[in-house]
Copies of this chain bind each other. A is one copy, B any other.
């Protein structure tokens, strides 16, 4: 009956010619026909799900989310109390007008309570989420009440999202939920979204909305590519002149310390880590506008050309700067990791500079500028190590043979499928932990249902031992900022990133793309109802369309 109701609610039941109206060849991905999933609209699919035909009603008047007796986390845990309110809103928000007298009859088929039980002595309510955080939970929906059991608050957050996804509207618009048992945990510990606030500035409102959407898809890492060549919107307390000179605008296009704090706390309340990236020595043009002598002066013949290259690796002042800068960063961002970039270092400017040439000679680097890069990176890693942070770097640092610390996480982003699979094999056979992003560059758009390609990629699909596979800690969907800003970022990211979300959370054998299409179609309408302008997968409609333009 659940399935029939979903059909009623969504109206995909028409048998239609799916062909778009044109004679270009059809997109490589075949079109899908909606047929309700036996898993309803759960997204990402939990590890173990059992949904029965017995259904209960919920009403906004009687239903409550409460701390269970014996829970290690109670009314003083504002993270949970905030989450209760948020999910109550999600469940009943759209239909509050309907709650009247009819809500008062709490008969045998009415579910009135979801009890949340944190079983571990330390609920971690006041902590920040980490790569080691336990996000597992168990959910039982039954009479007289539903129970959500989790070792830590992080699992409770994931379970609340799952609970809200089990609620649907029956043919009279009444909120309903079926008797259900779920046992769930993520397949990968690191499930990230990269947003780029340098190519275009993203207003805080946009960042927060996307953190909301991440929580709806059980993502747990916001990789904040906060600065790059184009602009430096991070307002540094130690070096305020960098954003004053290097941001698109020193007042309207910067993130103040208060803004950054708000993003981090907003994320924490949703079990989302904020990992900032300060990419060096390349991708630093905007740094140089306010920080004298930081970048390498490029030469044209025997004279400075007036343009600048990567960070200047031969000056002591560079390392003094980096020490102070990363000391500030380590205090501002509580996460145990910082992303240090290290990609796409262009050697041409270094090559042109006579001081750099002399230094290369002194050091015995010959003409191998990757040795100079290594020299820089090694010193940078030593600096960052003193801040007690772990670090992630883009794959080039590994590829170029920089001597790396064992606790480094290598972020794979280059090449075609064959190339990234071989890279994953190489990185893990060298004993490093790794993250995959190559197949998930969501800035690359194409016509049709490209989410299907994102859905099929698997970060453990490469030749390697079990031990190697275990070094894969997850992946990230990246939305680089050249072509997105507040006007189009959110619909371009969702629900395309949702495909990555399921890949990184659900079991390895969750690969039925027809079932995924059905669940994701309903899930995207749910995001729309919650105020996220997630774009459509294909011809269809949502009962409540997006209210903006």
Contact = CB atoms under 8 A, between A and B. Distances in A.
Contact of A444 (B344, B447, B480): B447
B252 A490 contact: no
Given A209-B549, A549-B205, A487 B491 contact: yes
Interface stretch (A103-111, A455-463, A531-539): A531-539
Copies, count: 2
A72 interface: no
Contact of A344 (B21, B484, B538, B547): B21
B485 A488 contact: no
Nearest to A540: B200
A536 B343 contact: no
Interface string A12-24: 0011110011111
Interface in A223-261: 229-231, 248-249, 252-253
A227 to B, nearest CB: 13
Contacts of A21: 283, 343-344, 480
A549 B447 contact: no
Contact of A285 (B17, B205, B534): B17
A212 to B, nearest CB: 10
B549 A16 contact: no
A488 B486 contact: no
A200 B540 CA distance: 6
B541 A249 contact: yes
Contacts of A487: 491, 528, 533-536, 546, 548
Given A16-B285, A538-B483, A446 B446 contact: yes
A521 to B, nearest CB: 12
A351 interface: no
Interface string A434-475: 000000010111111000000000000000000000000000
Contacts of A390: none
A63 to B, nearest CB: 26
19 contacts: A17-B229, A17-B346, A21-B283, A22-B441, A22-B480, A23-B414, A199-B539, A205-B549, A209-B549, A249-B543, A252-B545, A445-B445, A446-B447, A447-B483, A487-B535, A488-B536, A490-B549, A491-B491, A533-B549
A540 B535 CA distance: 24
A543 B252 contact: yes
Nearest to A286: B14
A11 B549 contact: no
Given A200-B536, A203-B547, 6 more contacts: A11-B248, A205-B547, A444-B447, A482-B539, A485-B542, A488-B536
Interface residues on A, range: 35 or more
Contacts of A445: 445-447
Contacts of A415: 23
A447 B442 CA distance: 10
A537 B485 CA distance: 10
A219 interface: no
Contacts of A231: 541
A510 interface: no
Contacts of A414: 22-23
Contacts of A14: 230, 285
A228 to B, nearest CB: 8
B535 A488 contact: yes
Contacts of A230: 14, 16, 539
A338 B203 CA distance: 44
Given A446-B445, A488-B491, A491-B491, A307 B15 contact: yes
Interface string A373-413: 00000000000000000000000000000000000000001
A423 B449 CA distance: 31
Contact of A536 (B22, B203, B346, B485): B485
A74 interface: no
A360 B43 CA distance: 52
Given A209-B549, A549-B205, A539 B481 contact: yes
A491 B231 CA distance: 23
A549 B206 CA distance: 5
A492 interface: yes
Interface string A268-293: 00000000000000010100000000
A517 interface: no
